[in-house]
Amino acid sequence: MLIFPAIDLYEGKAVRLYKGNYDEMTVYSTDPVSVARDFKAQGAEQMHTVDLEGARDGGTPNLGMIERIVAETGLFVECGGGMRDMASIDRAFSSGVGRVILGTAAVSDEALLADAVQKYGEKIAVGADLRDGKVAIKGWREDSGLTAEDFLRRIEALGVRTVICTDISRDGAMRGANAELYERLQREFGLELIASGGVSSLEDVARLRALGLYGAIIGKAYYTGDIELREAVEAAR
């Protein structure tokens, strides 16, 4: 299983939200590039980024920072937030991003998702952000009305292979990952699942690895020191 340490970007800073609430934001670093360098120093080979402003409002205001992270670390970077047309997807790949994650666009614009998958193949992933079993969109502020199962069935049929699945109720809450959710989805679908939300201990990492997941995202637990990234990378192997 791969470990993806995460940087959520807002106004060029590395921040974390609590359960997706923009009013409960903690700034952890004003220098995200140095954070990404530490990821690499601790053995990570890939990382996860979200442009929080883009996720909420559309657009990619933090793409320049993401481009710097790619250029200065050489890490494989997957990037989501605000990419809702082909031009912004193209710009992200031109900036050196290794994988683009579509969230809101994957729900609201199936034609764009299909075109992106046709053009970029497995370099396109989808973010399934779940609140009470339903997919949330637009920076987690709106309920799409789609269940996780219906949404994953739809995108799997379009050729999507990789899904970042976030349990919003656990995100930033340090309550442990929702292993039951991932076990159910892993059993039902042939997708490469990346678990996100609540991963807060090496026990969480071991549990998700035992489920055979493709990856797990570590966010707040890195910044609080509850997880030593180097140890998580080793535990996931």
Active-site choice (51, 85, 90, 129): 129
Active-site choice (8, 51, 171, 204): 8
Taking the CA of residue 42 as centre, how many other CA atoms within 13 Å lie in the half-sphere pointing to its CB? 21
Task: Fill in the DSSP letter of residue 212.
Answer: T
Helix (H, G, I), strand (E, B) or coil at 133: coil
Active site residue 150: no
Helix (H, G, I), strand (E, B) or coil at 180: helix
Please say whether the dihedral angle defined by the alpha carbons of residues 163, 168, 174 and 176, taken in this order, is positive or negative. negative
Identify how many contiguous H helices and E strands the chain contains and give both numbers: 11, 12
Place of tokens 């996860």: 48
Q: Which strand (E) or helix (H) includes residue 26?
A: strand 21-29
Active site residue 129: yes
Point out the residues that are catalytic.
8, 129
